[in-house]
Structure 1
């Protein structure tokens, strides 16, 4: 095996960025770009304070114990790996609910850090559900208990929008320029959606603050791309053979991409020199990634899980899944995209299939399957909406949607039970219990989920019938035959 090891840069001592959502993706993506930048330039302004907001206190404590150093293993394949020591994170905080039931262990420290004039950028990876927005309408979910708690006690917030609102309130009161808020989550127009969440919550609390936020705070959009599976015992064992014993290590692919709208009134690192693409408009890049990469991942997640396939690699090693993804990307997703002339969508689709086939990554389908009710509107249903209006094919999305509906029953096709990890899990489970074996009524009920289904898609009888037929094919004949039927339909 070819192994390259890179040591961390000298610690900066100046924290200019606060990150909300100290998960594996942040540690393997944004922190890596910043580490590379600091190693090359010695710029000491941009250390990171990273915070977990709801869970993950043990990770925070473990990073503190390790002096905030950890390792990222970047695999080109099973025979070629670069191991980086990362020192860009210089503070780790936890504001969630502790074992004693109390919230906000480090909340005061986080709010102080956010109010500090040296903090010029706040980045976020809190997942789609962490913004508390209706995925269909984009409106703040004011009835959510967490948002209600932030409305009732705005100075002790629990959510990411609440924390941003309180921090910005403090900066406004002190006459401190606002930080820039950079969303790094997989949402269309993620900067604007973050702006909506923050401004709508501020509006409920203090109208003048909401107006100030809308006028003065920058919310650039970004597109992030790197496959970062959840760590397994197998991953830790493999790292140990490389001489890395690190409870906070992350394994990922070598490929990485970051496209950022260049709007940072208070300054930013010169990320451009580390391969970050700074642009005036991120939308074409983020839409391409959401519909092609993330949409393909979701197809694998729900159909593969129903067939008791464990990982992305295991699924794409099977010819029917390769054919399904190729058809979905080239015939359904690509025609909906308006991309810069230099982007070859056929080549992009081929590159995604090659990345999915990286044999060194154990990217579990159950991990990708989380939060489908939040993800599918932008990954699939916008694709269906555009193609229905244009009279184009929607068979792959219909099969995927049928797979998601069946997945939310909480069992594989063979009957093995699993936990459905979704903000709407209780409601989705109730629909299965209510309709039992009445498949037509079940599909109709899912089409009635206003928080998930766009109106034009929900009202399409043709598409609903496609999903119903696909659901029956899955449950009566299995995943493989259902995919094979698509190929037959295409041949006709």
Structure 2
């Protein structure tokens, strides 16, 4: 391996302009990297970050604090080329979730005070799709969820991201402080609009005047984020140690990174443009392109590969038949549903994605991608498949993906290996499998009629439903190879 390029962080300033909800690997490898690069180039120290975890990983919060809120990001072009970047833009880490004793909100009041401070001008989020508590199909707030019910009953002690935003904005309104801008960085279509929906609908449960003020005064720009950031493994830490980096908070990712942001920040923002952030009037085309082509392909690999005992994206994309499937899905089913600005070459984009998936330095586990399918698949596969259905077109690749997802939710791969199904609807999935047993037709019908996941218009498409059933039967009776061969004949 070539000697790594090393980039040290700038000295800390103690100034916080951002609060971030969701202190995970993606935030540390994406938004924080852009801010560190901006700070190094411009010398502007007014945009430090207070990052908070809301549900889990108190050890990460405390570990970063113990390390002076410094950590390393290893950006791999391939296994022989890496840039080691020290990040120091995070000034504070907080935890508002449940501790080991079952108590909530250790640092919640400090977090709310940060968010209510006039110094905080932007609040960003990476809380995953389920962290917004929206029905995946309708987009409405899930006000029957126990966490949201708790926030409605005790709005000053919020446990959810929407609840924290509502309480902090209520405090600013009461104090006569202008609102911060709310920037979602999660993989959802119209993520700014959906965040606004969750926050305004929750505020309506508390105070109609507050909800009206949020709806009229708070900016919720949309964004599209892109960087492959796998969960860390022992092998990753060993590789870093061999490079002289002993850092339990380190993150490994690909060298590629992209951030497209709707330029609507009434309270101000960093001059991100020089760092390659694309500030645009409309994010939607880029967002939909990434969701359907990149994330949709990842989900195809996740369910089909995991069922066949394939562990990582790298291994999956080097399976010849799966690679053919991905390219067919991207160009024949995803790309035709997109309306892109002039000059965007979707064939070249598909080729670039396959090249990124084949980065041999990353161990992006398929089980990690397979999490929360009920929250992800409506925007990754089903919205595009519905568009094709309305136009009289079929979506055999998506149908095979749906068959694989249904089989995956049984919690056992095709080789008999058991695993945990990590999804908010996992209990319902288990009940459906128990109720229908080996009756493939009844099982597929039960899953397709889950109207909080599958659009009812798509479920009513008899051709699509039959295609899912056929694929399910091929997959369960003949395995991955037979299912892929059958697809090639369509």
Residues 95 and 104, structure 1, Cα contact 8 Å, conserved in 2: yes
In 2, Cα distance between equivalents of 1:483 and 1:205: 52
Partner of 2:375: 374
Partner of 2:30: 29
Whether 1:266 and 2:267 are equivalent positions in the alignment is yes
In 1, Cα distance between equivalents of 2:175 and 2:40: 34
1:284-326 Cα shifts (integer Å, max 9, x gaps)? 0000000000000000000000001000000011110110000
In 2, Cα distance between equivalents of 1:127 and 1:115: 23
Residues 224 and 257, structure 1, Cα contact 8 Å, conserved in 2: yes
Q: How does 1:60-459 map to 2 (within 5 A)?
A: 60-459=61-460
Residues 259 and 278, structure 1, Cα contact 8 Å, conserved in 2: yes
Residues 331 and 393, structure 1, Cα contact 8 Å, conserved in 2: no
Task: Quote how far apart the aligned CAs of 1:104 are.
Answer: 0.3
SS in 1 for 2:174: helix
1:192-223 Cα shifts (integer Å, max 9, x gaps)? 00000000000001110000000000000000
Residues 292 and 329, structure 1, Cα contact 8 Å, conserved in 2: yes
Partner of 1:47: 48
Residues 382 and 454, structure 2, Cα contact 8 Å, conserved in 1: yes
SS in 1 for 2:205: helix
Residues 449 and 456, structure 2, Cα contact 8 Å, conserved in 1: no
In 2, Cα distance between equivalents of 1:156 and 1:65: 27
For structure 2, the 5+ residue unaligned runs are: none
Residues 408 and 428, structure 1, Cα contact 8 Å, conserved in 2: yes
In 2, Cα distance between equivalents of 1:389 and 1:321: 27
Residues 394 and 464, structure 2, Cα contact 8 Å, conserved in 1: no
SS in 2 for 1:478: helix
Task: Quote how far apart the aligned CAs of 1:12 are.
Answer: 2.0
In 1, Cα distance between equivalents of 2:185 and 2:69: 22
In 2, Cα distance between equivalents of 1:480 and 1:191: 41
1:421-474 Cα shifts (integer Å, max 9, x gaps)? 000000011000000011000001001101001111011111000000000000
Residues 187 and 225, structure 2, Cα contact 8 Å, conserved in 1: yes
Partner of 1:9: 10
In 1, Cα distance between equivalents of 2:227 and 2:175: 38
Task: Quote how far apart the aligned CAs of 1:481 are.
Answer: 1.7
In 1, Cα distance between equivalents of 2:378 and 2:411: 21
Task: Quote how far apart the aligned CAs of 1:488 are.
Answer: 2.4
- CA-based RMSD of the aligned residues comes to 0.5
In 2, Cα distance between equivalents of 1:35 and 1:202: 34
Residues 314 and 362, structure 2, Cα contact 8 Å, conserved in 1: yes
After TM superposition, the score normalised by the length of structure 2 is 0.99
After TM superposition, the score normalised by the length of structure 1 is 0.99
In 2, Cα distance between equivalents of 1:484 and 1:295: 21
For structure 1, the 5+ residue unaligned runs are: none
Task: Quote how far apart the aligned CAs of 1:391 are.
Answer: 2.1
Task: Quote how far apart the aligned CAs of 1:383 are.
Answer: 1.3
Task: Quote how far apart the aligned CAs of 1:393 are.
Answer: 3.0
In 2, Cα distance between equivalents of 1:46 and 1:180: 14
1:118-150 Cα shifts (integer Å, max 9, x gaps)? 000000000000000000001100010000110
Q: Report how many aligned residue pairs link the two structures.
A: 489
Which runs of 4 or more aligned residues in structure 1 lie more than 4 Å from their structure 2 counterparts after TM superposition?
A: none
In 2, Cα distance between equivalents of 1:483 and 1:307: 12
SS in 1 for 2:49: strand
Please identify, of 297-306 and 473-482, the stretch whose mean Cα deviation from structure 2 is larger: 473-482
In 2, Cα distance between equivalents of 1:9 and 1:221: 29
